[in-house]
Structure 1
Amino acid sequence: MRLNDATPQEGSKHRPRRVGRGIAAGQGASCGFGMRGQKSRSGRPTRPGFEGGQIPLYRRLPKLKHFPLVNRSSYTIINVDDLSSLAANTEVTLTSLIKAGIVTANNGPLKVLGDGDVSVPLTVRAAAFTAAARAKIEAAKGTCELLGANSSTSK
């Protein structure tokens, strides 16, 4: 059997409705769409999902709770206060923090938050810094080096 041999079952195909051809044809005058209203007008079907001007369901749902962001980026976060226990001029990376036991899990690239204070100069290499964290590290004569988020090993 070939594709061109395939034919529809007997009786499954109906002739198209010929509307607007007079009352003898059975679909004269209003053509089966009734007298008045939006559904009787020319070009009549509304678009899929239209709810009469009310915000449609596909636009309402993402505003509700429990709709997570698509492709959400997750970071291994650490506060500046946790870095204050390190020795001066230490190079701080995600792997060095895991070896030191300050960070216990690798939840993605490293992000430094600005809670607390640091008094020793450090060279911090991370994927992201908050403005407060960057200011506190640089105020302590340290440096902040921005790594690409994809360059560090993520989970």
Structure 2
Amino acid sequence: MNLSGIKPPKGQVKTKKRIGRGMGSGHGKTATRGSKGQHAGTGFSQKRGFEGGQMPLHRRLPKRGFKNIFKKQFAIVNLGRLEKLEGNSFTIDTMLQLGLINKVYDGVKVLGTGVLTRKITVEAHHFSKSALEKIQQAGGTAQMIGAETK
């Protein structure tokens, strides 16, 4: 078998439409742009979303909602992940080192997803009700940063 003789199957490769290459090509003179009009000239481009003068879709649809500029974003940690790790005390620094959270954002919140079977001490900015209950049932403590201890 000669590699230089390999060709794709007949009909697989379509020849490129060469526009503006003379009248004999069938795509000469106006180069498939038609005669006159907005689209025929050089440098023609339309704004994104332009629909030929019809009211564009992004203006036909109603506006919805708003962006809350006061929203706080928390780094979330589930109790199930704390259960799997070694150690009994989890501070924000240890959570960062262990890779439980990547960034603190506006604080760390512990959620009650998962099962907790051992006594642990967790330090965070916020706790969900279920997380507090599970930590206290296991005999551990939940220390809130910036608030009184619960």
Specify the alignment match of 1:104 in structure 2.
Answer: 102
Shift of 1:115: 0.8
Distance in 2 separating the partners of 1:139 and 1:120: 9
Q: List runs of 5+ in structure 1 lacking aligned partners.
A: 1-60, 150-155
- Write the letter of the residue equivalent to 1:72: K
2:86 is the counterpart of 1:87: yes
Distance in 1 separating the partners of 2:70 and 2:140: 33
Aligned residues: 86
Distance in 2 separating the partners of 1:117 and 1:126: 19
Residues 112 and 133, structure 1, Cα contact 8 Å, conserved in 2: yes
Residue of structure 2 aligned with 1:146, choices 138, 144, 147: 144
Distance in 2 separating the partners of 1:98 and 1:132: 23
Shift of 1:97: 0.8
Specify the alignment match of 1:72 in structure 2.
Answer: 71
2:100 is the counterpart of 1:116: no
Specify the alignment match of 2:132 in structure 1.
Answer: 134
- The CA RMSD measured in Å over matched residues stands at 2.1
Q: List runs of 5+ in structure 2 lacking aligned partners.
A: 1-62
Q: Which runs of 4+ in 1 moved over 6 A?
A: none
Distance in 2 separating the partners of 1:111 and 1:75: 6
Distance in 2 separating the partners of 1:132 and 1:105: 24
- The alignment's TM-score, normalised by the length of structure 2, stands at 0.51
Shift of 1:120: 1.5
